[in-house]
Chain A
Amino acid sequence: MNETEFVKILSSIVLQSTPLIIAVCGETISERVGVVNLSLDGTMLLSAMTGFVAGLLSGSVWIGFLAAALVGALFAWIIAFGSIRLRKDQFAVGFVLTLLGDELSAFLGQNYTRIPGESVRHLGIPFLKDIPILGPIFFDHDPVVYFAFLLVGVTWWWLFRTQPGLRLRSVGERPESGFARGVDVNRLRYVYTLIGGALVGIAGAAYSLDIKLGWSEGHTRGLGWIALAIVIFGGWSPIRGAVGSLLFGASKALAAALQRRFPEVSVVAFNATPWLLMIAVLLLVGSDVTERLVVIMPKRVQPRLRRLLRVRPPAALGVAFSTPESQGE
């Protein structure tokens, strides 16, 4: 395989990973504020269908994305409302919504399967796309891909470099401390969960309007669950989440490429690897291996390394919060 082929593969990995990157960013925000949106798989299916159909009917992909974002926000709102106001289990509500999203997408999209529709137009960035190697990989795509890059950067910056981001994180870590510092815990939970949901919706539409054009039943099935796992793998950080998404995309591309090269090696191995990898990674996250790694490093490096490898979930993930005087709520 020569250089251009290699570059082409990397470029396609970046493209293929885009929806996952967006979804992981959105869910990271949601979980950082303490709400798990288990309905990701269903949301993405429904929003992929919605995005495609809205785009088709209106003639504009952007309307498609908008509609998809609204769908994502709606599902997220149901979970947030059920959890914050009604005190019901986030997982249970999320799970039912996963299945509902799947069914609704199949039903509402039944007249729109396998037909051509709108798609996002290619838009290479002038000058940048001509840089050898890096250019075609990162800068010769379409606005959705660039949006994903920006999103990762903005999310990271917002979470870790701004006062509002600090407040966001406090809600997910220790809401009572946030409360003591004047943070409106439940309002922030709603706001960021909706934003996260909207992003997941956009991710779904990114699939049907950009990556795997069109709609068919079960179009994006499985992606939502993978996104949930990558959030954990990425240690609830948008940059590591993006890296995880790219790695996942790379493993799939690698599997496809190797399959062509070694057709006799069983399909099973390739299909099974991502799942086995997921279990391996989660085992790693749950163990104290990373901490043990850190302590054997030289003292100066330790704090930096610790921050880099920190994979603890937000301490108040999935926990409801009540202020002292709102007991009757």
Chain B
Amino acid sequence: MEVVLENIRKYFGDVKANDGISLVLDSGKIYGLLGENGAGKSTLMKVLSGYHPPDEGRIVLDSEPEAFSSPSDALAQGIGMIYQDPLDIPAMRVIDNYMLGWDRRVILDYARAEKELRQNAGRMGFQIEPDAFIDSLSLGERQQLEMLRLLALGAEVLILDEPTTGISAEQKESLFASLRRLVEEETKTVILVSHKLSDIQELCDHVFVLRRGKLIGSADIPCPTQQLVEMMFEELPPRRPRVSYVRDDRVLLQVEGVEVDDDRLQIGNVNLNIRAGEVFGFAGLEGSGQRLILQACAGLTPVSEGRIFFDQQDVTRWPYRKLLQAGVAYLPAGRLEEGLIAGLSLMEHIALTNPMPGFLVDWRHYAQETEVRIQRYQVIGQASSYIETLSGGNQQRSLFAMLRDDLKLLLMEHPTRGLDVRSADWIWQLLYQRVEAGTTVLFISADLDELVERSDRIVAFSGGSMSRVVQASETSADELGHLIGGE
């Protein structure tokens, strides 16, 4: 089946997730879809697989334009996608998940379905236990099940979103072998969405590279890694020299052999020595583990192995509140979900995070204090404005405005996400003022430019492991791109 995407556009509010992408996919080939976070890969595939309709453009299958009302509709036309977080039902068993939507008959024929499942699993080289509950399976196993299900229901085009995260090397090998066989023997089409350059080069015949919602280029594999990296990441402007506020070698935060487990990801063997007054950046694509480590440093996620030292003290088992009191602050990326409270005003937020002694709240004091911070952080809004009425950028500034003055360590997820260049610049000016005054900053960013420009040192996370630490003043987009890609 030939799949053509014509001028696909998809917007989320102001964000152009897909900005006029056209490409042609022939059957019997394995394609790779490469790009940074925010490039638009997942969105494009979600459009193709029927999850979202495109705002403009169309999908043409074998010269017939098609519009899908839901993923199962797309599957009926032969297009199936395995999501990064597979859309299965954790509370049910493998066999139940397999059978949901399996056939139109009313009565469930468990015996037949199980037989088919086992057969198909065997053919693909997967180990499947039909009676197991999904929430006891690993991510890799869940993806395998989805693949079996989609194929059984007639998928001709199989889209896999980051499938090799969280599976073992053997599983990966057998997965790749099965994918190759699907393509060669059954002339199916496979699309691999990945950031792992090595996987793309190992498996794919052809690769498309997206950047900022547009199709930047494509290439046949084999192709030099260098070329791919250059397509993925824009060339960086020369780094402006920056004052470093690291005064001595005193280590403020030490992470020693730490491993953190999550249901989806396991990140291990993390070792960091972050010096007082340093600006340290975490690079890496979403879901590579940097968020888990950041949260572990804040006491928000428990550590399964290793230790963390803050200011010479072993804080591995310290709860979040205790770290807060010790001078650590955490700014999450989900502004309204985790950092701010819709329904409360800006002034109330300031009051909550900067308590004064006593029972009563001196609103007059906070009104003034909020005004001061509004000026300082250039927040467009009033002390009495409800926080949800502020724009995204101003919400971000508000998050900064809420911080205590005497912070020792500031942990931030994506500090300038969604901000324009000027606002981002302003935020960093303020951050540097704090660094100069003694705060150490540890931040996650998806923007290589920001990481190289603003940090003293950077480390990259890829698929659950940490790269070597690099000096920001000495690295390049190239080197970072490689590290992020897992090389």
Contact = CB atoms under 8 A, between A and B. Distances in A.
Q: Do chains A and B touch in the complex (CB under 8 A)?
A: yes
Interface of A: 161-164, 166-167, 169-170, 173-174, 176-183, 303, 306, 312, 314-315, 324-325
Interface in B88-128: 88-92, 96, 99-108
5 contacts: A174-B87, A181-B87, A182-B70, A182-B73, A324-B51
A164 to B, nearest CB: 6
A111 B102 CA distance: 55
B131 interface: yes
A161 B73 CA distance: 24
Contact of B96 (A166, A314, A315): A166
Nearest to B91: A173
A185 to B, nearest CB: 10
B302 interface: no
Contact of B107 (A161, A169, A176, A325): A161
B108 A174 contact: no
Contact of B87 (A164, A169, A180, A315): A180
Given A182-B73, A325-B52, A166 B99 contact: yes
Given A163-B105, A324-B52, 10 more contacts: A161-B108, A162-B106, A162-B108, A163-B106, A173-B89, A174-B88, A181-B101, A182-B72, A182-B73, A182-B101
B38 interface: no
A287 B262 CA distance: 21
B53 A325 contact: yes
B87 A163 contact: no
A315 B88 CA distance: 13
Contacts of B53: 325
Given A174-B89, A174-B90, A177-B88, A163 B104 contact: yes
A163 B90 CA distance: 18
Interface in B64-88: 70-73, 87-88
Chain B, interface size category, equals 20 to 34
Chain B, interface SS category: loop
Contact of A315 (B51, B72, B73, B91): B91
Contacts of B132: 303
Contacts of A182: 70-73, 101
Contacts of A174: 87-91
A-B CB proximity, top 7 nearest: A182-B72, A181-B101, A177-B87, A180-B71, A180-B87, A173-B89, A174-B89
A317 B107 CA distance: 26
B418 to A, nearest CB: 19
A314 B90 CA distance: 11
Contacts of A325: 52-53
Given A161-B107, A166-B108, A182-B72, A176 B100 contact: no
Given A169-B92, A180-B71, A181-B72, A303 B99 contact: no
A324 B99 CA distance: 25
Contacts of A312: 91
Contacts of A167: 100-101
A164 B101 CA distance: 9
A125 B45 CA distance: 61
Contacts of B73: 182
A324 B51 CA distance: 8
A183 B132 CA distance: 24
Contact of B100 (A170, A303, A315): A170
A162 B99 CA distance: 10
Contacts of B102: 163
Contacts of A166: 96, 99-100, 108
Contacts of A164: 106
Given A161-B108, A182-B101, A170 B52 contact: no
A319 to B, nearest CB: 14
A167 B89 CA distance: 11
A162 B106 CA distance: 5
Nearest to B103: A163
A162 B72 CA distance: 19
Contacts of A314: 91
A178 B131 CA distance: 20
